[in-house]
Copies of this chain bind each other. A is one copy, B any other.
Amino acid sequence: MKKHNFSSGPAILPQRVFEQAAQACVELDGIGLSILEISHRSPEFTAVLEEAEQLSRELLGISEDYAVLFLTGGASSQFYMTAMNLLNNDQAAGYVDTGSWSAKAIKEAALFGRVEVLASSKNENYTYIPKGYDIPSNLSYVHLTSNNTIYGTQFKEWPKTDIPFVCDMSSDIFSRPLPMDRFGLIYAGAQKNLGPAGLTLVIVRKDLLGKVDRTIPTMLDYRTHIKKSSAFNTPPVFPIYVAMLNMRWLKANGGVSALQTKNEQKAALLYNEIDRNACFTGTTAKEDRSTMNATFISTDAKYDALFLEACKKADISGIKGHRSVGGFRASMYNAMDISSVEVLVEVMKELERKAG
| Chain A interface residues toward B at CB < 8 A | 1-3, 5, 7-13, 17-19, 21-23, 25-27, 31-34, 36-42, 72-77, 79-80, 84, 104, 107-108, 111, 189, 191, 196-199, 215, 217-220, 232-239, 242, 315, 317-318, 323
Contact = CB atoms under 8 A, between A and B. Distances in A.
Nearest 9 pairs between A and B by C-beta? Answer: A198-B236, A72-B72, A22-B25, A80-B217, A76-B233, A3-B32, A22-B22, A197-B237, A36-B196
Count of chain copies:
2
A77 to B, nearest CB: 5
B26 A22 contact: yes
Contacts of A217: 79-80, 84, 108, 111
A315 B238 contact: no
A40 B197 CA distance: 9
Contacts of A22: 22-23, 25-26
A326 B234 CA distance: 20
Contacts of A233: 74-77, 189
B23 A72 contact: no
Contacts of A199: 198
Contacts of A13: 34, 36-37
A102 to B, nearest CB: 15
B74 A234 contact: yes
